[in-house]
Structure 1
Amino acid sequence: MAETPVLQVERLTMRYGEGCPHCKDHLEKNRCTVCGTVWAANDISLEVYPGEVLGIVGESGSGKSTLMQSLYFDLIPTEGKAYLQNYGEGKKNIWDASPLEKRKIRNNIMGMVYQNPVRGLRMDYSAASNIAEKIIAAGSRNAGQMTARAEELLEAVEILTSRMKEAPKNFSGGMQQRVQISKALANNPSLLLLDEVTTGLDLSVQARVLDLIRKIKAKYGISILLVSHDLAVIRMLADRTIVMLDGKIIESGLTDQILEDPQHAYTQQLVHSLL
């Protein structure tokens, strides 16, 4: 029997503008030259399987972050459906969920790590309080359990528990990302969304964060949707890769296959820039 995907996205479209009959044939990059409509995501379909890292690579404006923010309900797409194995037996479109159900999905089934830690953390709260906030949002009120969970997760992301009462604003960028990862893992989500998590970090810090993500995947067996514009990051972590350009998927396959034998001219250009 075929494995059931943790996440299935069908024909996700995010359009800014009314659209017109000419949009299909008159797009310049992702903008219609006739009506001016911008297609930030254009008919995106994908699956993420249990324990898999699916990489999404593409330049700025390719639709990667639009996809991630739609999945985490920061944006509501114009069209499309998405199904989670752990919600409604995988048969209910998450974008049709009630506000209460969406909060449950965000707090229990998915974890999100943003490129900018300011979006994912309360910078004036302590590191432990950031994790506790996520646990409280999922309905727990046991202070002892929350403290123990915060200690466990901060240790997992290699932050000294002696610093758990410090605020993330006092931490380096790499440490802030690690606190964000620990917060995202607070309620044992089945899917982790990582949006450009190493952008802006020093190379040595990038390497540590990537190594940490690999360890977390091995320890928790979590499925990961990993967005990056950096093919080196994708090569290190992703089992399969999707290449996006101008809001569309232009190529997909096993990461090794994409890197060794890219078919699309844009992917070839990306791979050659890495060599």
Structure 2
Amino acid sequence: MYKQPILQVHNLNKQYGSGCSACRDTHTRSLEKNYCASCGTVYACQDLSFELYPGEILGIVGESGSGKSTLMQCLYFDEQASSGEMLLNHGDVAGKNLWSLSNQQKRFVRNHILGMVYQNPLRGLKMEFSAIGNIAEKLIAAGGRNVSHMEETGKELLEKVHIPLLRMKEAPKHFSGGMQQRVQIAKALSNYPPILLLDEVTTGLDLSVQASVLDLIKTIQRELGISMIVVSHDLAVIRMLADRTIVMLNGTILEQGLTDQILEDPQEPYTQQLVYSML
């Protein structure tokens, strides 16, 4: 494992609502799961800290409502973190808290350093554009102007994710769910970002399609050496992909460690329950 992380998150908090005297103090707050019954504030992420290393796949597992998708949205600037630090060991933004950057700087990070694959392809793709047009859109956002280069890159990426080139001019709305996810992965990879975020990318897919998408993710990671954060409620997905795993519940990190260690010797009752349900 590399000693120097490519990404560090310190004390990430994300809340929906202003909070009240019953829940503002982190030491004395009493919540129902991550919800304050007194004022209705939801504490989606509570004091989350972790690292991501170069070439590593970090898995984040937890039930629906555990805060894992909110965490991903904060990492990709779809949501503004309430407090905390996100540090990237890369290029001009190295050492800066990314959540404090200007909107223009955040766009640069989204277009050049991070790739995102959403659970719902509608969030990541323009369904009316062609498959190759979706990739070109991402390249143009990052300053690409050379049409032949963009077409070449698009074809290369579509081949990498096993989309037949004879369908590259077709719109993703005509594709199956598995093909849509593969186009989304190609689009997210278009600038060869050092970090790829994948949020529940196999949910709703048939088992055989799930297996091919997971195999594709593993192959891409091996070939390109990209660091990845993979979110899932399915421990089988995490077992197949992740080097290390974080277990989340009610907006908090319950435990984290090497994936094998967490699967073979889970410490927390909730993690034990997750592991036994997989057996």
TM-score with structure 1 setting the length = 0.97
Partner Cα distance (1:148, 1:234) in 2: 33
- Aligned-residue offset at 1:16: 1.3
Change (3 A) 1:113 1:2: closer
Q: Which amino acid aligns with 1:98?
A: S
Partner Cα distance (1:133, 1:102) in 2: 17
**SS at the partner of 1:39?**
strand
* Counterpart residue number, 2:35: 31
* Counterpart residue number, 2:64: 60
Partner Cα distance (1:153, 1:88) in 2: 27
Partner Cα distance (1:115, 1:228) in 2: 10
Of 19-28 and 196-205, more deviation after overlay is shown by 19-28
Q: Which amino acid aligns with 1:64?
A: K
* Counterpart residue number, 2:217: 213
- In the alignment, is the contact (CA less than 8 A) between 1:18 and 1:37 conserved in 2? yes
* Counterpart residue number, 1:4: 4
Question: Gapped runs of 5+ residues in structure 2?
Answer: none
Q: Which amino acid aligns with 1:190?
A: P
* Counterpart residue number, 1:238: 242
**SS at the partner of 2:150?**
helix
Alignment partner for residue 128 of structure 1, among 125, 129, 132? 132
- In the alignment, is the contact (CA less than 8 A) between 2:2 and 2:54 conserved in 1? no
Give 1:80-229 correspondences, 5 Å limit.
Answer: 80-229=84-233
- Aligned-residue offset at 1:38: 1.0
- In the alignment, is the contact (CA less than 8 A) between 1:87 and 1:105 conserved in 2? no
- Aligned-residue offset at 1:122: 0.4
- Aligned-residue offset at 1:21: 4.1
- In the alignment, is the contact (CA less than 8 A) between 1:55 and 1:234 conserved in 2? yes
- In the alignment, is the contact (CA less than 8 A) between 2:178 and 2:209 conserved in 1? yes
- Aligned-residue offset at 1:36: 2.6
- Aligned-residue offset at 1:34: 3.2
- In the alignment, is the contact (CA less than 8 A) between 2:60 and 2:230 conserved in 1? yes
- Aligned-residue offset at 1:219: 0.8
* Counterpart residue number, 2:45: 41
Partner Cα distance (1:94, 1:127) in 2: 31
**SS at the partner of 1:50?**
coil
- In the alignment, is the contact (CA less than 8 A) between 1:26 and 1:34 conserved in 2? no
- In the alignment, is the contact (CA less than 8 A) between 2:60 and 2:248 conserved in 1? yes
- Aligned-residue offset at 1:87: 4.6
Partner Cα distance (1:269, 1:91) in 2: 39
Deviations 1:106-159 (A, max 9, x none): 010000000000000000100101001101111110011001100110010011
* Counterpart residue number, 1:15: 15
- RMSD of Structure 2 on Structure 1 (CA): 1.2
* Counterpart residue number, 2:76: 72
- In the alignment, is the contact (CA less than 8 A) between 2:5 and 2:53 conserved in 1? yes
The runs of 4+ residues in structure 1 deviating greater than 3 Å are: none
**SS at the partner of 2:255?**
strand
* Counterpart residue number, 1:263: 267
Deviations 1:254-274 (A, max 9, x none): 000000000001000000000
Sequence identity percentage: 65
Q: Which amino acid aligns with 1:257?
A: Q
Deviations 1:207-245 (A, max 9, x none): 000000000001100000000000000000000000000
**SS at the partner of 2:86?**
strand
TM-score with structure 2 setting the length = 0.96
Q: Which amino acid aligns with 2:112?
A: N
